[in-house]
Chains A and B, each alone.
Chain A
């Protein structure tokens, strides 16, 4: 019983969940495999080294190591991408919206917005900090599913230094485009955000076929988004780098025009070439400090 009361008290510490339930303690519990420290909101604090290091990784470089650890749902496609030539990378902050129900929303608003002065999307933006990537579940809603326009896009970028992801829409694309940040959405619409309620900040969400947790590392490229659980980050980083190096070497060799496809890919066939590749790879790995 004492334990129960203690647990209740602990979970009662201020949290960002709106329709409360999933607390900071839950977040710590469900990300207990993380080898890293924590941010003050409980999310794993993935070191900058990995965030910098994965800036050159493509979806495929991360897909293999995730798949071999049985994480088969971590890549998400089918996005409309504003500025696909940029990389989107950072620690995930999640937000969840659901279709509006006045009886539920009146309780959420009374508790989280007593002065009725802050709109639900701005409550989310106010929770952002540098290095975050906001990922919003708007259940694919386009009309009245516009989380941000050009002004709030500027506000998100100012807070995080990053673009963002909306499983929903944005508006004011003409004003968003010149800001040169990568934005992943399902579509665009002129309407404003309406007829929804904010049910969670930093709670587990579903984005397409992926369960996204707060504190995952998200990496976006031209193809889509990879959500890496924090405890998988070191291994994904190591293996992605090896693939990246392999691809550089292989493409350089092909460019000489001397080799047939099967002589180089997926691995060189000739013993001398194998040695050349392995020596080169070992030297690059040493430079990067990976095994």
Chain B
């Protein structure tokens, strides 16, 4: 697809508010049980400090107002505020950054993969297929996950730091993800088709690139606590990425970060 075609599609998707609402409701359909067993109830319990509303899937929903105001914040300031608040483990570095001139800001939608094990995979695939009422060919895992993303999400994907066999998507699926979220993503792993992804001008944090597809991995967690390097990322955390790296901001500390960046009296 040409860059012009890409942008045209993006614009029409952006204009279709009805489509967006529709997407949001679709993503509210119940998730199938994942290996971690971390469900809706646990999500509410372990994000109890969230001062805002929630997305239909239960994640804290930090309002767009605060996300917009983070545009003028750097990860340095955010990490400093979090450290002072007793959260020293919210910063992760060592990324290959695509389009570092941009900022990546949005609500974390976490996805976790683990090394494959046939005994577990069989049960996981059966559950997913049954939950989706699919009788014959199960939807591939990546597409199944991508269809759950909503506008303003930032997918945060743990592929165990793998480069080979650790590709989360290529240009087609990354384009589909970009249309659904309006954002890039963070993958502790890799992606493919860099030549097709580059013209989308969306910011992506990965550990590298590989021409092969993902393999030898099973999807074990959706919107569950997920470790990305030195950080425990919770679903609904606000992702802030810049040239230096990524900070994951717990919802109840977002306002504090914004106010520090503005120099207002949060000191």
Contacts and interface: CB of A to CB of B under 8 A. Distances in A.
Contacts, number: 102
Given A19-B46, A211-B218, A101 B117 contact: no
Given A20-B42, A101-B89, A195-B89, A204 B114 contact: yes
Given A101-B234, A104-B225, A204 B36 contact: yes
Contact of A21 (B42, B87, B120): B42
Contacts of B119: 30-31, 33, 229, 231
A211 B252 CA distance: 33
Contact of A101 (B35, B45, B216, B250): B250
A160 interface: no
Nearest to A103: B49
B115 A209 contact: yes
Contacts of B118: 69-71
B231 A99 contact: yes
Range of interface residues on B (Cβ < 8 Å): 35 or more
B88 A195 contact: yes
Interface string A191-214: 000010101000110100111010
A73 B114 CA distance: 10
Given A19-B225, A21-B42, A21-B224, A104 B115 contact: no
Interface residues of A, number: 39
Nearest to A22: B37
Interface string B32-66: 00011111001001111100000000000000000
Interface in A170-190: none
Contact of B216 (A30, A31, A73, A213): A73
A30 B35 contact: yes
Given A204-B220, A211-B114, A100 B42 contact: no
Given A99-B89, A101-B89, A206 B218 contact: no
A232 to B, nearest CB: 8
A30 B116 contact: no
A107 B46 contact: yes
Among B46, B87, B89, B90, the most chain A Cβ lie within 10 Å of the Cβ of B46
A283 B61 CA distance: 69
Interface in B5-37: 35-37
A98 interface: yes
B86 interface: yes
Contact of B48 (A107, A206, A213, A231): A107
Interface string A133-148: 0000001000000000
B230 interface: yes
Given A21-B36, A21-B38, A21-B42, A99 B230 contact: yes
Interface in A157-172: none
B62 to A, nearest CB: 14
A127 interface: no
B160 interface: yes
Contact of B232 (A17, A101, A213): A101
A69 B47 CA distance: 41
Interface of chain B, main secondary structure? loop
B115 A210 contact: yes
Contacts of B47: 103
A29 interface: yes
A239 interface: no
A247 interface: no
B227 A139 contact: yes
B123 A213 contact: no
B74 to A, nearest CB: 22
Contact of A73 (B116, B123, B220): B116
B93 to A, nearest CB: 14
A196 B48 CA distance: 20
A263 interface: no
B35 A98 contact: no
B214 to A, nearest CB: 14
24 contacts: A19-B225, A20-B42, A21-B36, A22-B36, A26-B35, A29-B123, A30-B123, A72-B116, A73-B116, A73-B117, A99-B89, A101-B87, A103-B47, A103-B48, A107-B45, A197-B232, A199-B225, A204-B35, A204-B220, A209-B115, A211-B116, A211-B117, A229-B117, A231-B119
Given A211-B114, A229-B117, 12 more contacts: A22-B36, A23-B37, A26-B35, A33-B119, A99-B230, A100-B232, A101-B250, A107-B45, A203-B36, A206-B114, A211-B116, A211-B218
Closest 9 CB pairs of A and B: A21-B38, A21-B37, A22-B37, A99-B89, A73-B115, A98-B232, A211-B114, A26-B37, A99-B232
